[in-house]
Amino acid sequence: MTKRYDVIIVGGGPSGIFSAIELTRKDNLDVLILEKGPDIDKRECPGKGKKCIYCEPCAITCGWGGAGAFSDGKLNLSTKIGGWLNEYISENELSELIKYIDDIYLGFGAPNYDISLDSLKVEELKDKARMFGLLFIPAQIRHLGTERCAQILKKMKSYIGKRAEILTESEVLKILTSDNKIEGVVLADGTRYLCDYVILAPGREGSDWLMKEVKRLKLKVKNNAVDIGLRVEVLADVMKPITDHFHESKLIYYSKQFDDQVRTFCMNPYGVVSNEKYGDVITVNGHSYAENKTENTNFALLVSTNFTEPFKEPIAYGKHIARLANMLGGGTIIQRLCDLKVGRRSTKVRIKESEVKPTLKKATPGDLSFVLPYRHLSDIIEMLDVLDNIVPGVASGDTLLYGVETKFYSCRLRLSSNLETDIKNMYAIGDGAGVSRGLVHASISGVITARDILKKIKNERY
Residue 409's Cβ-count burial label (10 Å; 0-12, 13-18, 19+) is: buried
CB-based contact 303:380 (threshold 8 Å)? yes
Task: Assess whether pLDDT exceeds 80 at residue 67.
Answer: no
Predicted TM-score (pTM) of the model is: 0.88
Exposure string (b/e) for 21-32, b if CB count within 10 Å is 16 or more? bbbbeeeebebb
* Residues with Cβ within 8 Å of residue 98, at least 6 apart in sequence: 77, 78, 79, 440, 444
Using a 10 angstrom Cβ sphere, with 0-12 exposed, 13-18 middle and 19 or more buried, the burial of residue 120 is exposed
Q: Give the single-character DSSP code of 124.
A: H
- pLDDT at position 11, please? 96
Question: With 0-12 CB in 10 A as exposed, 13-18 as middle and 19+ as buried, what is 130?
Answer: exposed
Contact yes or no for 54/281 (Cβ under 8 A)? no
Between strands 400-407 and 333-336, the pairing is: antiparallel
pLDDT tens digits along 133-155: 999 999 999 988 878 898 999 99
Q: Could you give all domains of the chain from N- to C-terminal order, each with its CATH number?
A: 3-117+140-222+412-461 (3.50.50.60), 225-407 (no CATH)
With a CB cutoff of 8 Å and minimum separation 6, the contacts of 93 are: none
Residue 354, classed as helix, strand or coil, is coil
Give the three-class secondary structure for 212: helix
Q: What would the DSSP string read from start to end of 334-346?
A: EEEHHHHHHT---
Q: What is the largest CA-CA distance in the chain?
A: 73
The alpha carbon of 416 is separated from its chain's Cα centroid by a whole number of angstroms, namely 23
Query: In the prediction, which pLDDT does 335 show?
Result: 98
pLDDT, tens digit, 9 for 90 and up, residues 10-51: 999 999 999 999 999 877 899 999 999 999 888 876 656 556
pLDDT, tens digit, 9 for 90 and up, residues 235-267: 999 999 899 888 878 999 999 999 999 999 999
pLDDT tier at 208 (50, 70, 90 boundaries)? confident
Residues in the chain: 462
Quote the CA–CA distance of 277 and 204 in Å, as a whole number.
Answer: 10
Using CA atoms, how far apart are residues 149 and 331, in angstroms rounded to an integer?
Answer: 26
pLDDT of residue 334: 98
Q: What is the DSSP string of 360-410?
A: -TTPEE--GGGTS-HHHHHHHHHHHHHHTTTSTTTT-TT-EEEEEEEES--
Round the CA-based radius of gyration of the chain to a whole number and report it: 22
User: Given this model, what pLDDT does residue 47 score?
Assistant: 59
Question: Is residue 185 over pLDDT 60?
Answer: yes
